[in-house]
Amino acid sequence: MPLKNDHYTYRVTWSVEDNEYVGLCVEFPSLSWLSKTPESALKGIRKIVAEVITDMQKNGEQIPEAIACKNYSGELMVRVPPEVHRNLAIQAAESGISINRLVSSRLS
């Protein structure tokens, strides 16, 4: 039985190795579900996630929070080599924008 208010992040893709569709859940990377159709792969992975969550609740385990429900600050600290930092500063200055704006536009 599917979860109520299921906000987890699912994906269905083709598995060349298995010659079937595979349903995946980002918050539960160890789980997958193979099926002949993408629709049934999604239904299967949602069902197995619901079963795992039920077991985790019974055992008092921490349930992963859905990525979609997390709050993000918008701050991302990234370390880059000094020469990359310099090149970004030059490109930002030449464009008349901040490094943050330059990097943000490239990431989006």
CB count within 10 Å of CB 41 equals: 25
pLDDT (average), residues 94-107:
94
Amino acid 3: pLDDT: 76
pLDDT tens readout for residues 3-46: 777 999 999 999 999 999 999 999 999 999 999 999 999 999 99
Amino acid 35: pLDDT: 98
pLDDT tens readout for residues 44-65: 999 999 999 999 999 999 999 9
Segments making up each domain of the chain, as ranges: 10-67, 72-107
Output the pTM of the full model: 0.74
pLDDT (average), residues 60-89:
94
CB count within 10 Å of CB 79 equals: 6
Residue type, 23: G
Check if the beta carbon of residue 46 is closer than 8 Å to that of residue 61. Answer: no
Describe the strand order of the beta sheet including 20-25 as a list of residue ranges: 10-15, 20-25, 32-35
Check if the beta carbon of residue 64 is closer than 8 Å to that of residue 53. Answer: no
Amino acid 4: pLDDT: 75
Q: Is the pLDDT of residue 1 over 70?
A: no
